[in-house]
Chains A and B, each alone.
Chain A
Amino acid sequence: MTLNSGIPEGPLKEKWDNFKSNMKLVSPANKKKKKIIVVGTGLAGASAAATMGELGYNVDAFTILDSPRRSHSIAAQGGINAAKNYPYDGDSVWRLFYDTIKGGDYRSREANTYRLAQLSTNIIDQAVAQGVPFAREYGGDLANRSFGGAQVSRTFYAKGQTGQQLLLGAYSALMRQVDAKKAGGEGVPGVTMYTRREMLDLVLVDGVAKGIIVRNLITGDIERYAADAVLLCTGGYGRAYFLSTNAFNSNGTAAWRAHKRGAFFANPCYVQIHPTCIPASGNYQSKLTLMSESLRNDGRVWVPKSKEDAKAIREGKKTAADLKESDRDYYLERKYPSFGNLVPRDVASRNSKTMCDDDLGVNPTGRAVYLDFEREINAQGFNTIKDKYGNLFDMYKKIAGEDPYKTPMKIYPAVHYTMGGLWVDYSLMSNIPGLFVLGEANFSDHGANRLGASALMQGLADGYFVAPHTVGNYIATENPSQVDTSHPAFDAAENDTREYFQSIMDVGTKNEKNKHGRTVIDIYRELGHIMYDSVGVSRTKEGLEDALQKIPKLRESFWNDLKIPTETGKFSKYIEVAGRTADFLELSELMARDALEREESAGGHFREEHQTEDGEARRVDDKFSYVAAWEWKGRNEPHVLNKEELVFENVKLTQRSYK
């Protein structure tokens, strides 16, 4: 099957304008008759739902959480990029575009990435108008800081809680539309909010997305909703690794169920491992906590030069303070003189792993490096550092029990973001007409690696500025026929959902009777180990083949040994987790397969067989300059690979170098 990316004609800089000039509009009278479903209310979902409501559509928004304000976008700390060039340090839309596409190791679409850079400035204006309290200078101007992978200061921030403030901005816009809908009633545009609902299936009528099946997490009821277009804004699939910086409820289920209905899954192997997280301390660990990358602006990464010193530190016989400057290896500054501690995330992560593999790790598990603020505290003063990172330092102290003002932090990489996701065209529509995918859930803008402070940018660009236009264009162009939930396709989809759900419950019931089995967390945790070992920071052919043996076996174990509460009519967290784990057990296999077939290194996907003499990622552009869009063929059939060739007309592909 050929994939049409639908990129508009014209020079790169004019494509988005050309699209908007040529798109068709829905008349205001018609808009309120059109129903839009938005699944997920993070940055992408909340901003899309709010904007579509403002434009006059009737929107149904769904979240698995008890409030849209809790979506995991809220946890983004460091900031949001925008090519405002306020510091006058030479930034521009082009430079942001170039940094993003280069940072993504030339595996993203030029047109999408350029549009993202273009829209970045609008996001800041929009957020400020909404009352997002970004950090300011004394004179009243917005403050900026620099971030990994960039040589300019273009990151806007609100303490270490930028994601929270941007999400609350989008959430408040969303709530305004909920208010409008409640005040207006039937037939009046706005948003109807459905909380604690989990999407379990996508409903297609003649191959076109027409609705969703959800489970009410409070009552256990299966419910159906119809619409003219469905927007998936459900985030990434990083929880396939069990331990990650993602939230406990983050999952890949909505995207995966849509995939099983025909939506292609693109580049699943592109996973970002964030370099600055608090290391795991034991097997009870339920998640990893990220420390904002902004810490690398003033923090210096190091390990002891000698293995003896590292061993002494691990055993508690020495501390960081015992090591003289000359005994420390500031390896990022040494290896990458021009970017130093600000190299992109994948480079920083891989180097941490290499150092620890060489027995230079500094915590009892041997899996940690230092992030040291001593020099900058002395240079800039305690208060300046406290002002910049106070809440991050407090958070570290709370979790690790050590004071980073006095002793260096210990950090280690953790799975953080997934660049892969459902395939979409320039309009953010998947290969299923009427199914749009926004934010982290799609694959489109970051290529093989995402630059810091770009996730917030993408979620909001998609939700505020792209989808409201492209969805309208779809509706105006295709004029999709309206169906309601009494259509037989809904009966069929609901039946499928019930049967699948029941098949999981049946395993639980059987094992309950036989007093046999293992808990869903036990299975899930094992999946995480397999994924970290073989589909993690660096990957090998052998490791991936091994994972492809182990995952199906583990999946078999799930379908035989699963032990869960079987009372389905009530709120039950482990029933939710079981469904999500079942999906991850399928998705993770595809991740390993994609990683195996991509015989090159690119961004977050590092194949040990493909590296330069310096240990850097080596792409194989003549063979792999494509998007791998995987097609589901059935439960017992292998996926089929479809390719979208990436065309670069504006940037020259070079070997990334941050030296």
Chain B
Amino acid sequence: MANKNFKLEIWRQDGPNTEGKFETFNIEINEHASFLEMLDQLNEDIMNEGGRPVEFDSDCREGICGSCGCMVNGAAHGPERETAVCQLHMRTFQNGETITVEPFRAKAFPIVRDLVVDRNAFDRIQEKGGYISVNTGPKPDANAIKIGKQRADEAMDAATCIGCGACVAACPNASASLFVGARLKHFGLLPQGAPERGRRTLRMVEQMDDEGFGACSNIGECEAVCPKGISISAIGHMKRDYLFANLGFHK
């Protein structure tokens, strides 16, 4: 149970419209603490000195809610793959290392304060068709729709997205293609989603563009930083479906 020392360079920005700058801190912490527990400890230290704590989002702290997220040493969610920053542990870092912490940056993700960003753009995309239009009420028996295991698993792999926004943060163009592609692939693969497949694709893509996300350059860094490892084949799916929707093959 060794303690380690770190030098932290953290982006501080008081509000959406104020200038920000880096602030330097030193901290000693147990290597088995998580990255966010390290920030917790830092905030305790700051508050005990009468300073303003570093604001960051987090909730479940087990990598499923998608609340947390920041750039750690130039990588979204830090250096580990398939890991949200809440599941990153300080044992990953070398004693004495300098760690740079920045917020996710994109026009569509305005900064709220420090490391907290506003990701409501994702909700607004979801509103435009990220659903299957069924009302609550009597439905056919669940087993009346047969879906083969492979297809169900593929849909699940796309549906596993936690909406953290790391894909946007890591993309050189700040594109939301992986997020939107994953939503479209999940619904597109299932028979339940077929009736509104084209409309869904057109509306969600339009909203994605309206939010100010960039275009996809097929770099694939989004997949590398995705805490759930969602494949960019979801983006391919979106591009195919967008073409088919425009050509009228999907209604």
Interface residues of A in 596-642 (CB under 8 A from B): none
Given A131-B187, A140-B146, A564-B47, A175-B127 contact (CB < 8 Å): yes
Bitwise, A518-529 to B at CB < 8 A (1) or not (0) is 010110000000
B216 within 8 A of partner (CB): no
Interface residues of B in 126-167 (CB under 8 A from A): 126-143, 145-149, 152-153, 155-156, 159-160, 162-163
Given A124-B142, A126-B136, A565-B53 contact (CB < 8 Å): yes
Grouping DSSP codes into helix (H, G, I), strand (E, B) and loop, the B interface class, with mixed when no group exceeds half, is: loop
Given A521-B44, A565-B52, A286-B34 contact (CB < 8 Å): yes
Please determine whether A136 and B147 come into contact, CB atoms closer than 8 angstroms: yes
A-B contact sample (15 more), CB < 8 A, given A69-B163, A512-B50, A573-B53: A71-B65, A125-B138, A128-B139, A128-B142, A129-B192, A130-B134, A130-B192, A133-B155, A140-B147, A282-B33, A284-B37, A286-B61, A394-B82, A395-B62, A398-B63
> Complex: how many Å from CA A579 to CA B197?
45
Residues of A within 8 A of B63 (CB): 395, 398
Please determine whether A175 and B112 come into contact, CB atoms closer than 8 angstroms: no
Given A521-B44, A571-B116, A401-B136 contact (CB < 8 Å): no
Given A158-B156, A165-B159, A247-B65 contact (CB < 8 Å): yes
Closest-CB distance, B44 to chain A (whole angstroms): 6
Which of B99-107, B117-125, B217-225, B241-249 touches A?
A: B117-125
Q: List 21 A-B contacts (CB under 8 A).
A: A65-B65, A65-B67, A66-B67, A69-B66, A70-B60, A74-B65, A125-B140, A129-B192, A131-B187, A131-B193, A133-B155, A133-B156, A136-B152, A140-B147, A176-B133, A178-B127, A247-B61, A282-B33, A398-B83, A521-B40, A573-B55
Residues of A within 8 A of B61 (CB): 247-248, 286-287, 289
A142 within 8 A of partner (CB): yes
Given A182-B127, A193-B123, A567-B52 contact (CB < 8 Å): yes
> Complex: how many Å from CA A394 to CA B127?
32
Residues of B within 8 A of A124 (CB): 142
> Complex: how many Å from CA A521 to CA B190?
46
Given A66-B57, A522-B44, A54-B66 contact (CB < 8 Å): no
Partner of A136, one of B89, B128, B148: B148
Residues of A within 8 A of B43 (CB): 574
Partner of B53, one of A286, A398, A574: A574
Residues of A within 8 A of B132 (CB): 129-131, 172
B98 within 8 A of partner (CB): no
Interface residues of B in 20-62 (CB under 8 A from A): 29-30, 32-34, 36-38, 40-41, 43-44, 47-48, 50, 52-53, 55-62
Residues of A within 8 A of B53 (CB): 565, 573-574
Residues of B within 8 A of A567 (CB): 52
> Complex: how many Å from CA A386 to CA B32?
26
Closest A residue by C-beta to B137: A126
> Complex: how many Å from CA A565 to CA B137?
48
Please determine whether B40 and A284 come into contact, CB atoms closer than 8 angstroms: yes
Please determine whether A66 and B50 come into contact, CB atoms closer than 8 angstroms: no
Please determine whether A51 and B59 come into contact, CB atoms closer than 8 angstroms: no
Interface residues on B, range: 35 or more
Please determine whether A176 and B131 come into contact, CB atoms closer than 8 angstroms: yes
Please determine whether A84 and B142 come into contact, CB atoms closer than 8 angstroms: yes
Interface residues on A, range: 35 or more
Please determine whether B64 and A75 come into contact, CB atoms closer than 8 angstroms: yes
A86 within 8 A of partner (CB): yes
A209 within 8 A of partner (CB): no
> Complex: how many Å from CA A133 to CA B89?
31
Closest-CB distance, A441 to chain B (whole angstroms): 17
Residues of A within 8 A of B82 (CB): 394
> Complex: how many Å from CA A164 to CA B58?
16
Partner of B29, one of A135, A284, A399: A284
Please determine whether A282 and B30 come into contact, CB atoms closer than 8 angstroms: yes
Please determine whether B131 and A173 come into contact, CB atoms closer than 8 angstroms: yes
A572 within 8 A of partner (CB): yes
> Complex: how many Å from CA A482 to CA B55?
40
Residue among B1, B142, B163 with the highest chain A CB neighbour number at 10 A: B142
Bitwise, A112-133 to B at CB < 8 A (1) or not (0) is 0000000000101111111101
> Complex: how many Å from CA A122 to CA B141?
8
Bitwise, A428-465 to B at CB < 8 A (1) or not (0) is 00000000000000000000000000000000000011
Please determine whether B131 and A133 come into contact, CB atoms closer than 8 angstroms: no
Closest B residue by C-beta to A179: B127
Please determine whether A75 and B62 come into contact, CB atoms closer than 8 angstroms: yes
Closest A residue by C-beta to B155: A133
Closest B residue by C-beta to A68: B123
A380 within 8 A of partner (CB): no
Please determine whether A399 and B159 come into contact, CB atoms closer than 8 angstroms: no
Given A130-B134, A133-B152, A161-B64, A571-B190 contact (CB < 8 Å): no
Closest A residue by C-beta to B164: A70
Partner of A519, one of B48, B80, B153, B192: B48
Please determine whether A131 and B186 come into contact, CB atoms closer than 8 angstroms: yes
A249 within 8 A of partner (CB): yes
Bitwise, A177-211 to B at CB < 8 A (1) or not (0) is 01100100000000001010000000000000000
